Amino acid sequence: METLDGISTGRIDRLFAGIEAFVDPAFDGWTRTVFSPSYRAERSWMTEEFILAGLEGVRVDDFGNIVGILPGRYSDAKPIVIGSHTDTVERGGRFDGIVGVLGALEVAQRIKESGSVLNRPLMVIDFFGEEANPFGLTCLGSRALAGSLTVTDLERVSPEGKRLGDAMQSFGLDPSRAVSGKHPAQGSWHAYLELHIEQSSTLDQTGCNIGVVSAIAGIKRLVGRYMGQYDHAGGARMKTRKDALLAAASSALALHEFACGSPEYAVATTTHIDSLQLAQNVVPGRSELRAELRSTDSAWFGAIEKDLALRLSMRAAEFGCELDVEWFLDNEITHTDATLQETIAAASTSLGLTWTAVPSGATHDSVHMTGIAPMGMIFIPSIDGRSHCPEEFTPKKRHTQRHCGTRKKRPSGR
């Protein structure tokens, strides 16, 4: 039997083998998208695993989340809550979210086996539908639990013309209860902790065992609409053109340079550029650019609209074009709780694990838990930083420390 630091990994190996049976054969990797038959079958299996793990009161809550409790000494004490999600993107990996749920089941069983009883209840959650879906709304279960899912959200329509509310109903959920169910009040949990893969390369490159998450990046998205002039591609001279597609392409480079020049963690991604016309003998007179920016730097994030509007307008003007930019705020920057950061770091050190403070560029269910409880996240390495792909991998064995010289570095507070 393989062991990790002298402890058998047989039980967690069995859980991973079990969940990997529930995949969509139409895709490579470990695909289990929300609302899919493979996800439905997996959730039925997972509910049984919650019971097998010795959790009590196992149920699917009003919001689609699987919940179970390891009772504590004082039943009325605020619970410690741990968990993550088990749905994946198409062509997804084996560990994103899954390690947090299977890890939480293992934690509950280890506590039971140790013979000790926590003062507080330990609640384990497998959140419903965390990943992106055709309805354009992530974190369905955690969002609903936090009371942030709205009646308007239920009216969102997929490209196939299906309503989100109808999709939830077909999946066996009551959409009206998902928006009106009883939400935990602010402060009603003692703490929320989520174990997750890093989905970036800091831990893998430095050889650190544990990432103490300092903050989860805020996300702003923009649509830039460029107005130039349609012209004959053969007749219009180069110096007189107002090429809206070139203005957008130049703006994509400006966005890239803007994020490269940020003082702290920041990324910018241009995802679409469209000339809005098909003829190959026409100078593009209109174009549209879509991009998103993420950062954990409050000052930089707060000034994005003003700073970028100027840069992008200058790029548009270089090509004789005008620009209209529309902004959408997806998430504000979410800071993890400073005391939980210290606790995770101290626990890592006491276990002989190296750690470093890291930002999270990806959004997680934990973002929605900050209104209910102090929130912390524990990252483990992703080999080569790969995630949302079949190559996503996290080894069971701990990393050999290479450049992780930050054991003394304190995690950052708010």
CB neighbours of 366 closer than 8 A, spacing ≥ 6?
Answer: 142, 192, 194, 216, 334, 336, 375, 376, 377
Cβ-based nearer residue to Zn ion, 86 or 313: 86
What is the nearest approach in angstroms of Zn ion to the Cβ of residue 187? 26
What is the nearest approach in angstroms of Zn ion to the Cβ of residue 194? 9
Backbone torsions φ then ψ of 3, nearest 5 degrees: -125, 155
Cβ-based nearer residue to Zn ion, 148 or 349: 148
What is the nearest approach in angstroms of Zn ion to the Cβ of residue 130? 6
Binding site for Zn ion (CB under 5 A): 96-97
What is the nearest approach in angstroms of Zn ion to the Cβ of residue 135? 18
Task: Give the number of residues written for the chain.
Answer: 414
Binding residues for Zn(2+): 85, 96, 131, 196, 388
What is the nearest approach in angstroms of Zn ion to the Cβ of residue 273? 28
Cβ-based nearer residue to Zn ion, 287 or 336: 336
Cβ-based nearer residue to Zn ion, 98 or 404: 98
Cβ-based nearer residue to Zn ion, 198 or 243: 198
Closest CA to 109 of 2, 1, 210, 12: 12
CA distance 214 to 269: 22
The residue nearest Zn ion at its CB is 97
Instruction: List C-alpha distances in Å: 282 to 125, 238, 321.
Output: 55, 13, 16
CA distance 353 to 31: 32
Count of C-beta atoms within a 10 Å radius of residue 194: 29
Task: Please list, residue by residue across 336-346, b when 16 or more beta carbons sit within 10 angstroms of its beta carbon and e when fewer do.
Answer: bbbebbebbbe
What is the nearest approach in angstroms of Zn ion to the Cβ of residue 368? 13
Identify whether the C-beta of residue 368 lies closer than 8 Å to the C-beta of residue 148.
Answer: yes
Binding residues for allantoate: 221, 281, 294
Binding residues: 85, 96, 131, 196, 221, 281, 294, 388
Cβ-based nearer residue to Zn ion, 97 or 121: 97
